Structure 1
Amino acid sequence: MKITVTSRNPNSKAFPLTLELAGSPTTVTIDTLSDAIHKKLPKYYPDRQRVTTEDKRVLERGKNKSLADYGIKDEEVTLYFKDLGPQIGWRTVFLIEYFGPLIFHPLFYHLSALFYRSTFNHSTMQTVTYYLAILHFAKRELETLYIHRFSHGTMPFTNVFKNSAHYWILSGANLAFWVYGPWFAEGTTMSERSEVWIWGCVAVWAWAQLSNLATHVTLRNLRPPGTRSRAIPYGYGFDLVSCPNYFFEIVAWGAICVLTLSWSAVLFTVVATGQMYLWAIKKHKQYYKEFKNYPRSRKALFPFIA
């Protein structure tokens, strides 16, 4: 069949591109088309492409769908191309994001005399918070390497700076600076916490982190290696909400807020909760749209609420 690929950018010099592909709309897959574009124009590797029909339906790769699945029936067709720009793998993005706090927390904690221009002993609250923060982001790095399987391979490279700012600034430099400062040092009124207070927060944090890990393992097991398949998750946490991994993440950071009583921890938690709520609503709607038998009693993020 004959496919004419034209760019939605009127200034593009690489398009229109004419492809002659063996087969018919029922046998030519989206991956075949994407690979053919890449072969003709090596600059536009598959993850950098967005190809749509005239009515702007996106032809999705990795789902083993043919052109006919998107309503294309003619042996000659015109499709539309958009350059998504240089891409970066999601796994790499996550590793970069979580690495920031692993730099800033040790710097402010161990080099406090340099940053605060004074010498003091860290309080129990500061020390406990430090180790909880390090364990949290080390866990996230290990999950990225060994547990997560991503439904989307890449994202635009420029987005890595925006995404990383959330972690490097809010949960990295900002949180570390205000929590490990002399105002929370040993012997100060602001650092006073009972053992029940401290270890109660640690217990809630640990439960939330282990619960978060369990939900990540459940999601991993739904997606065979090398695929982007989706299925309905069931089990611990998922009987109540569509995104229990986000819910347990919020609980863990809520415990740190109570432990530190720091506005910097509250700021990060509020911003993170808002973002995770938006993600949860989007995923919740996708589940309803994709699976007709999706449990109607589930909420998106907060059990019994929303």
Structure 2
Amino acid sequence: MAADKLTLSVRPRGKPVKKLPEEVSLPAKGTTSELYAQLAKQADISIHRLRVTKGSDGALIPNSKDLPVEDTGIREQSTIYVKDLGPQIAWRTVFLVEYAGPLLIHPLLYAILPYTSHSPGPSYLQTLSLILVCIHFAKRELETLFIHRFSAATMPAFNIFKNSAHYWLLSGLNMAYWIYLPSSSAAQESNPAITYAGLALFIIGELGNLNTHLILRGLRSSGGAERGIPQGLGFDWVTCPNYMFEAMAWIGIAMVSWSLSTVVFAAVAIGQMGVWAKKREGRYRKDFGGKYKKKRYGMLPLIW
């Protein structure tokens, strides 16, 4: 007769976890989310700080409502290791803080820099650059609030400083300073052909990026961590069309602002997105096997 309870031996990984029990019991058919909940309750610690691995091979035991503990290979009296990941912060909060930087810095420097050195004020290109940058980051804030669904609830709290520096310094302070100076290229007369081509790229990129995010949202339930195979505009060309469209938008901003600082940020951002796209392709192949149509390019058709 099968046991009603599954009892596991618990050991700390790394530094000791205060109040961590030596054993934990849960229903024989219990899920890994129940295991995490039991550990968090008994150790009196946030569930998001816990990382649980199997004692046999060190494999991660994910926190999932749909994964029975038995399906991870754990049996009666198996040993699990529990690590305290330290203070955590919600991914949604991190994103909101990151994108707030450029939204604050660009209008501030736009209001100050064009009027220095007896300048008559901001040029058409400087004003248009401000509008495009603010539209881009306001859109990302709204997507964070109303569209994105995160597979992981939190990240280490300290990482917010590293992540925010990329946006507050590189796309915020650095870009804004060089765009809105009276001596910048954006302060000069514009080339209509380049400006309108850049504006068109920006609009297509932003709308395409939004569409991709809506498709990805539909693959996951609210609060869920399930994964699906995305289909729709761009997904037949590359693994991550959201990155492809974002690259288009930033190239468009660079063509409008005519600033090397924008080119530098765009190059860094595109490089990072390319790395993420390659990892996403590997994860799709691993998770879905033959069901997934393999892509040759991660984010830029015929290039990368």
TM-score, normalization by structure 2: 0.92
Residue type at the aligned position of 1:170: L
Q: Which amino acid aligns with 2:47?
A: P
Rate the CA distance shift 1:204–1:4 in 2: closer, same or farther, 3 A.
same
Equivalent in the alignment of 2:234:
237
Question: Could you tell me how far 1:256 is from its partner in structure 2?
Answer: 1.6
Deviation at 1:261? Answer: 2.5
Distance 1:113 1:193 in 2: 16
Uncovered stretches (5+) of structure 2, i.e. residues with no partner: 1-5
Equivalent residue in structure 2 for 1:253, among 243, 250, 260:
250
Instruction: Report the residue type matching 1:178 in the other structure.
Output: W
Deviation at 1:18, TM superposition (A): 2.2
Partner residue, 2:193? 196
The 5-angstrom pairing of residues 1-306 of structure 1 reads: 1-9=6-14, 11-12=15-16, 14=18, 17-24=21-28, 27-43=29-45, 45-54=46-55, 55-73=57-75, 75-112=76-113, 116=116, 118-184=118-184, 191-292=188-289, 293-306=291-304
CA distance in 2: counterparts of 1:271 and 1:16, whole angstroms = 43
SS at match of 1:209: helix
Closer, same or farther: CA 240–298 of 1 in aligned 2, 3 Å: farther
Say if 1:82 and 1:13 are closer, same or farther in 2 by CA, change over 3 A.
closer
Count, aligned residues: 297
C-alpha distance in 2 between matches for 1:172 and 1:151: 28
Match of 1:198, SS state, is helix
Q: 1:22 to 1:168 in 2, by over 3 A?
A: closer
- Residue segments in structure 1 that go unaligned for 5+ positions in a row: none
CA shift for structure 1 position 117: 5.3
Mapped partners of 1:80, 1:212: distance in 2: 40
* 1:304, distance to aligned residue in structure 2 (A): 2.9
Q: Distance in 2 between matches of 1:193 and 1:117?
A: 21
Q: Shift of residue 62 of structure 1?
A: 2.0
- What is the CA–CA distance in structure 1 between the aligned matches of 2:215 and 2:182, rounded to whole Å? 42
Distance 1:20 1:264, change over 3 A: closer
Give per-residue Cα distances to partners, 1:102-125, cap 9 Å, x unaligned. Answer: 1100011012267x4543322211
1:7–1:15 Cα contact (<8 Å) kept:
no
- Aligned-pair CA distance for 1:76: 0.8
TM-score of the superposed pair, with normalisation by structure 1: 0.92
- Return closer, same or farther for 1:13/1:128 CA change in 2, 3 Å cut-off: closer
Q: RMSD in angstroms over aligned alpha carbons?
A: 1.8
Cα offset for 1:151?
A: 1.1
Cα deviation for residue 228 of structure 1 reads 1.4
Shift of 1:16: 5.9
Of 263-272 and 220-229, deviating more is: 220-229
Could you tell me how far 1:303 is from its partner in structure 2?
Answer: 1.3
